[in-house]
Amino acid sequence: MLSKSLVIFIGIGVIAGLAFGVYLIDVKNTSQLVYVEGAGISVVTEKFDFKKGEEIKIKIINTGTVPLIFSDASYGLRITGLSGILMYTPTSAQVESELKPNDEIEFSWDQIKNDGDDALEGLYKISAKGFDPAGDKVERSTTVTIWK
C-alpha cells in the first residue's frame, strides 16, 4: 500500500506536468504565425527541435495586408547563432522580390553553414527582413534547437 503523501505528491506532479506542457504547446504554436492589419511577416518551421543533420524547412509568410518587398531572392532569410554570428543565408540573385499578402515562400536548410561546416548543437535564430510599400522595415524571427 502506498502512503497517502506519496500519492498526493505524484498526483500534484502529474497535474503540474500536464498544465506546464499545455502552456508550452500553446505558447510555442501561437508565437510563430500572427496575422496583422498592415505590414506583417512570420517565420514558421514545422517544429522547434531538430536532430543534428535533419533538414529544416522554413516558411516565410506575409501575414499582413500589404505586399512586402525584399532586396534579393532570399527574402531576407538569415540563420544566426544566438550571439548574432551569421551561420547561413541562401545564395540568391540580387533581384528585388515581392511577397503579396497571404503568400508564402519555402526554404530548406540542411544544417550546413556558409563556410561548408556542419552546424553544431545549440540554439539558432531564423529571421526574415523585408520592407513595406512605405519603406519601413518588417522583421520577424523564430528560434530552433539542434540536438545530438
* In the chain, where the domains are located: 1-32, 34-147
First to last CA, the chain: 41
Q: What DSSP state is assigned to residue 14?
A: H
Q: Are 48 and 145 in contact (CB under 8 A)?
A: yes
What one-letter code names the amino acid at 29?
N
Residue 101 pairs in a beta bridge with none
pLDDT in tens, the chain (148 residues): 678 888 888 889 888 887 777 665 554 444 567 789 999 999 999 999 999 999 999 999 999 999 999 999 999 999 999 889 999 999 888 899 999 999 999 999 999 999 999 999 999 999 999 999 999 999 999 999 999 8
Q: Which CATH number does 34-147 carry?
A: 2.60.40.3880
Entry pTM: 0.77
